[in-house]
Amino acid sequence: MHMPATQLVHLRFALPSPALRPYVTTYYRTDVICAPRARWLEDWLHPEWANLRFLARGAAQSVVGAGEPEACPGFTVTGPTSRAVRFRIGTGYSWGIGLLPLGWARLLRGVPASDYADRSVDGAADPVFAPLGPLAAALAASDGDWDSQLTLIETHMAQAFADAPPIDEAPILALNAALVDPDVLSVVDLATRLGMTVRSVERLSARAFGFPPKLLLRRQRFLRSLSRFMLDPSRTWLGSLDCHYHDQSHFVRDFRRFMGMCPSAYAKADKPLLTAAAQARMAVAGTAVQGLHSPVGHTAPPQAA
């Protein structure tokens, strides 16, 4: 289905300053104009790392996993996800900030990512996110100009990380780099790469990444396949599969686990936001999906076969 000419989606991505790139993937703005008599654009967001979202104008609804979408607050925090987020957005615009696992661990020291895994919360009502409240208020009061709002976000995030106490960053960076390496296939591989015990890797993974490492490896394999399809929907699913899938039925099981639907249903569904986002994100950040974003100092794996 083609979008009517009166229905418009515009997504823009920007990288943070070099000093913030170990912590933040991208800043992104979504502008939407719905068609007449259409209240929403609807889409499914694939699993990813944590995100801060600021609904500056308009309305939105979302739900992680199964269930009916509910109204999003003006400042929404979504922890790392292992299930699709079904969301709707009306005419208006919003800003987002993607947090790498190290960004979560540094900015929210002492708050395990697993506490917010597969959850969205009202950032203004949760005291954990109080330091980001002024940013939400400033964006809501601003004039909507891309450049001035981007500067506002970058300035606030730079100060937030400058104020955050230092932590031991090396193990988190190393685990993140191993997870985006397609040659790392097992938890034992992760432990060997990091020079840690399996149990230590499991504890680190829950604290900074939100999920057990075995599930994260499975998620990363799935995302590598999905990103290839998103960048070139003319591909067949078979032509998009990561080389570590045993067969197509193996991939279908993962697809149902992470997206809540079969691949054929997803391929047929309208994806007015995510298709545009994959291309725009790839052009700026070098990866089509946030979950494949590499930490600083490491080369991202190829996105297409």
Q: What is the pLDDT of residues 162-196, one digit of tens each?
A: 999 999 999 999 999 999 999 999 999 999 999 99
CATH dotted code for 8-163? 2.60.120.10
Averaged pLDDT, 12-29? 96
pLDDT at residue 35 in the model: 87
**Distance set, CA 143 to CA 57, 120, 139, 146, 149 (Å):** 11, 27, 8, 9, 8
Residues of the chain above pLDDT 90, percent: 77
Same-fold call for 8-163 versus 170-292: no
Does domain 170-292 bear CATH number 1.20.58.1000? no
Residues of the chain above pLDDT 70, percent: 95
Q: What is the mean pLDDT of the chain?
A: 91
How many other CB atoms are found less than 10 A from the CB of residue 225?
Answer: 22
Alpha helices in the chain (DSSP H): 101-107, 133-141, 146-163, 170-179, 187-194, 198-204, 213-231, 237-240, 248-259, 263-268, 274-285
pLDDT at residue 2 in the model: 46
Averaged pLDDT, 227-245? 78
pTM above 0.75, yes or no: yes
The residue ranges of every structural domain in the chain are 8-163, 170-292
Averaged pLDDT, 134-154? 95
pLDDT at residue 43 in the model: 94
Q: Is the pLDDT of residue 31 over 60?
A: yes
How many other CB atoms are found less than 10 A from the CB of residue 22?
Answer: 19
Q: Is the pLDDT of residue 37 over 90?
A: no
